[in-house]
Each structure stands twice: as structure tokens, then as C-alpha cells.
């Protein structure tokens, strides 16, 4: 895999295996979705980001953290926005990584694992009021103890579970208080916001993943393992905090810009939203902002090379709340386990597979492909599901059988 010079010069600390996370066909799912013989035939593949790193509970956050680590080891001077967007919050050598998330956050355990890898302390802040997972849990005591909470403790993180903010009264930011207290204790904390998305470097990992996917396409096409256009025409991925989707958009747009001739429709990144808390337009603006932030660093003109036309988010599969496994998504979690032998997670990837299936079964993909492909390309389209990990949260969902 060869990155453009400007991109390749950005410092990166490897957390992933030297080989790319594997891509394999989802044959049973493809067969079941193409039984009605709709054109184009959709072939479904999975990119296993849950197999991407030797560190604990591999998942999509390690790609992001690879680009944060050089700044953690040699932090830039603190800025007024450090306590919001991420970075060191005091001068000096970083001693402690601090991050936050919902009770069963995948991101927090990957940060805790990185802290252990770097020989740093870690404080994990878990918010009871984020999402509806805890409220919907059959066994709330177990939800607060097992799954990712247990993993964070095993990794040596200091886990702080915070109660929901009161609906009335003065609003405070408990994370700021924690950062200030660490500083008063002669610690130098480095703040990593939820999902690492607000961090200025948060989108770079998945911009790089776009180039990795393109290199895997080329190898697969040479071995006749990838028909149709010879590429993954649709990329289905969860959209939570937004920088995974934004990074992929930036990376694929840079790839398209580097092509001397365009013979295929551009790859389309489809983000499946997993929370109904905010309207889709809110997430679209965030993803556009993250894509432009990453794009500007890797060699794109943020305003002209990345537009809202590049952002495709689908909010039809969010369910009742973030972290709540609705009955429909549960069906797809069970189906993927029993038909493909692939274990999904209850917060993100089960909803992505539900969305992907809907796009194929209800003709959304076919209609989009008919508008964008030539007649010669219209017989087959390839869809790539990004498996972002998260299975370690499953023990907290006691009602899954």
C-alpha cells in the first residue's frame, strides 16, 4: 500500500498487525439476498476490523489511536480547546490518558489498552446516562460490571462511573473536574474525547484504511476473487461519533482524485446511524466536518474536494436508543452467528447488517447503482461491511440467547 507523500509523512505509531485486517465473502448472506434475482446482483463481503490488532478486543478505534500516539508521546502545547477536542491539558510529559463513553463503550477499552502498551495510567469515565443500554438492561448490576467494564478493569484502568446529570440546576462538566484534579495531583493528563472523533487527528486512521481497502481490491481482482467492477462499490459502516465515516470519505476521495482516468463510479460510503438522539442532519454536518479536517491534512482541498454530496447517512435503523438492542437488530445478530459464524456486537454492527440487508432487499442499492453505473457495469455490485468490533460488550446483554 502506497500513500501519497503528504499523507505518508504524518507520524503514525503502529498498533495494527503488519498484514491488513482480512476481507472475506459473506456467502450465505449473499445467497439469501440475491435469491430474488434483482439486478444488479449484490455480493457481500466483510472487512474484519475486529481482527486488526494484537491488543485487547480489536476494533476500529485502534486505527484512530495510531495517529494520536505520536502527539501523546510528544504533545503539542495545550490549547484552550484541549479539554474539549483532545490533547494534553497541561505542559510536560503525559502521564495519564483520560477518555469517556457509555457504560459499555468499546472506545474506552481500546484507549485503556493503548495506555497499557505505552506504560501510562488511564482513567475511564463511563456515563450511566449516555444512551439507553443501562435502562433497558435486564440485569443492571451485571451491565455495570461485566463486558467492557470488566475488560477496562482487567487492563488496569481506573474506571469512574458517573450518574446522569440532573435535568435542572447548574450544568457542570465532570470530565473537566477530573482533568483538573489530575493536574493538581502532579499528573499530566491527555484527553481523548469519545470515539476520538473531535480530536484533530481522529479521521486519519480511516482515511488510511481507504487506501488499504483499495490495495486489497487490487489483489483480489488479480486472483479473480472480486467480480463486477473489481472494487467494493458500497462501504457500509456504523456511524456513531462520526470520524470513521468521515475518514473513509476523505481517503476514498483522495484515491479518486489521484486516478488519471475514471472508469468506475466512485465508491459510496454509507454510514448507518446507531442513535436517534440527534437528527440525521446533525450527524451529516459532523461527518462533513471530520472528512474535511482529515482531507485537508492528507492533500485534499477541504471545501472543493469534499462536499455534502459525499455524505450518505441512514437513520432508519437506530432503534429506540443508543446501546439498546432492538428486536429487529437482534434477529440479524442471531442470523449472522448461525448462518455465517460471524459474531456481531449489539450496539453498532448488528444495526449495520440490518441496514445493509434493507438496502439490498428493498432495492435501495439497485436503484442507486442504476443511476451511477454504466450498462456494462450494471450486472453486479460489491458491498463491503466494515466490522468495527465490539463483541466484548455481549456479556452485558443478558437477554441475548
Tell me, what's the pLDDT at 398?
81
Query: Which of 21, 52, 53, 105 is flagged as catalytic?
Result: 105
pTM across the whole model: 0.96
Q: How far is Cα 289 from Cα 154, in angstroms, rounded to an integer?
A: 36
Distance CA 232, CA 382 (A): 5
Q: What angle do CA 312, 273, 40 make, to 5 degrees?
A: 50
Is the backbone peptide bond immediately before 291 cis, with ω within 30 degrees of 0? no
Which pLDDT value is given to residue 181?
Answer: 96
Q: Check whether 35 has a pLDDT greater than 90.
A: no
Determine contact, residues 400/325, Cβ cutoff 8 Å.
Answer: yes
Q: For residue range 115-162, what is the model confidence (pLDDT) as tens digits?
A: 999 999 999 999 999 999 999 998 999 999 999 999 999 999 999 999
Task: Report, in angstroms and rounded to the nearest whole number, the Rg of the chain calculated over CA atoms.
Answer: 21
Give the model's confidence band at 41: pLDDT under 50 very low, under 70 low, under 90 confident, else very high: confident
The H helix count followed by the E strand count for the chain is 16, 11
Mean pLDDT, to the nearest integer, of 69-79? 94
Helices (H), 89-230: 106-118, 133-136, 140-143, 148-154, 174-184, 204-222
Question: What pLDDT does 128 receive?
Answer: 95
pLDDT digits (tens, 9 = 90+) for 354-400: 999 999 999 999 999 989 887 667 788 999 999 999 999 999 998 77
What is the per-residue pLDDT for 338?
96
- Residue partners of 198: CB distance under 8 A and separation at least 6: 84, 85, 86, 241
Give the model's confidence band at 170: pLDDT under 50 very low, under 70 low, under 90 confident, else very high.
low
The owner of cell 470488566 is 150
The DSSP output letter for 70 is: H
pLDDT category, 222, cuts 50, 70, 90?
confident
Over residues 240-246, the mean pLDDT reads 97
Domains with residue ranges and CATH for the chain? 5-53+200-396 (3.40.50.1100), 60-192 (3.40.50.1100)
Reply yes or no on whether 52 is catalytic.
Answer: no
Contact 313, 284 (CB under 8 A): yes
- Please tell me which residue, 203 or 166, carries the higher pLDDT value: 203
For residue 381, the cross-strand partners are 42
Distance CA 331, CA 329 (A): 5
Question: What pLDDT band is residue 167 in, cutting at 50, 70 and 90?
Answer: low
Burial of 336 (0-12, 13-18, 19+ CB in 10 A): buried
Instruction: Provide the pLDDT confidence category of residue 291 given band limits of 50, 70 and 90.
Output: very high
pLDDT in tens, 186-206: 999 999 999 999 999 999 999
* 3-class SS of residue 20: coil
Residue given cell 474506571 in the structure block: 159
| Cell numbers found for residue 201 | 487527528
Amino acid at each position: 500500500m502506497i500513500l501519497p507523500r503528504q499523507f505518508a509523512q504524518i507520524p503514525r505509531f503502529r498498533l495494527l498487525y503488519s498484514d491488513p485486517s482480512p476481507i472475506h465473502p459473506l456467502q450465505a448472506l449473499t445467497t439469501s439476498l440475491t435469491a430474488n434475482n434483482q439486478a444488479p446482483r449484490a455480493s457481500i463481503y466483510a472487512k474484519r476490523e475486529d481482527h486488526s490488532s494484537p491488543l485487547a478486543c480489536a476494533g476500529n478505534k485502534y486505527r484512530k489511536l495510531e495517529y494520536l500516539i505520536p502527539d501523546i508521546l510528544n504533545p503539542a502545547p495545550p490549547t484552550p480547546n484541549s479539554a474539549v477536542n483532545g490533547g494534553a491539558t497541561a505542559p510536560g510529559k503525559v502521564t495519564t490518558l483520560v477518555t469517556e463513553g457509555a457504560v459499555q463503550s468499546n472506545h474506552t477499552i481500546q484507549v485503556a489498552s493503548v495506555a497499557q502498551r505505552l506504560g501510562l495510567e488511564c482513567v475511564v469515565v463511563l456515563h450511566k446516562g449516555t444512551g439507553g443500554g443501562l435502562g433497558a438492561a435486564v440485569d443492571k448490576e451485571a451491565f455495570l460490571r461485566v463486558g467492557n467494564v470488566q475488560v477496562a478493569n482487567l487492563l488496569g484502568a481506573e474506571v469512574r462511573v458517573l450518574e446522569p446529570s440532573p435535568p435542572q440546576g447548574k450544568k457542570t462538566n465532570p470530565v473537566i473536574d477530573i482533568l483538573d484534579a489530575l493536574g493538581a495531583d502532579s499528573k499530566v493528563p491527555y484527553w481523548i474525547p469519545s470515539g476520538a472523533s473531535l480530536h484533530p487527528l481522529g479521521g486519519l486512521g480511516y482515511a488510511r484504511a481507504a487506501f488499504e481497502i483499495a490495495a486489497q481490491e487490487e489483489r483480489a481482482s488479480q486472483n479473480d476473487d472480486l467480480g463486477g467492477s473489481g472494487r467494493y462499490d458500497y462501504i457500509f459502516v456504523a456511524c456513531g461519533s462520526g470520524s470513521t465515516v468521515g475518514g473513509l470519505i476523505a481517503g476514498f476521495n483522495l484515491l479518486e482524485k489521484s486516478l488519471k482516468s475514471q472508469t468506475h463510479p466512485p465508491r459510496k460510503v454509507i454510514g448507518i446511524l446507531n442513535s436517534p438522539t440527534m437528527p440525521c442532519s446533525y450527524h451529516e454536518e459532523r461527518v462533513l466536518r471530520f472528512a474535511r479536517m482529515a482531507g485537508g491534512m492528507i492533500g485534499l482541498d477541504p471545501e472543493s474536494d469534499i462536499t455534502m454530496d459525499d455524505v450518505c447517512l441512514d437513520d432508519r435503523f437506530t432503534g429506540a436508543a443508543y446501546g439498546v438492542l432492538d428486536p429487529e437488530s437482534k434477529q440479524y445478530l442471531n442470523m449472522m452467528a448461525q448462518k455465517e459464524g460471524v459474531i456481531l456486537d449489539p450496539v453498532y454492527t448488528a444495526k449495520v447488517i440490518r441496514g445493509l440487508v434493507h438496502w439490498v432487499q428493498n432495492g435501495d442499492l439497485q436503484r442507486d447503482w442504476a443511476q451511477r453505473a454504466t450498462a456494462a457495469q450494471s450486472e453486479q455490485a460489491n458491498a463491503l461491511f466494515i466490522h468495527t468490533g465490539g463483541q466484548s460488550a455481549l456479556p452485558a446483554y443478558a437477554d441475548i440467547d
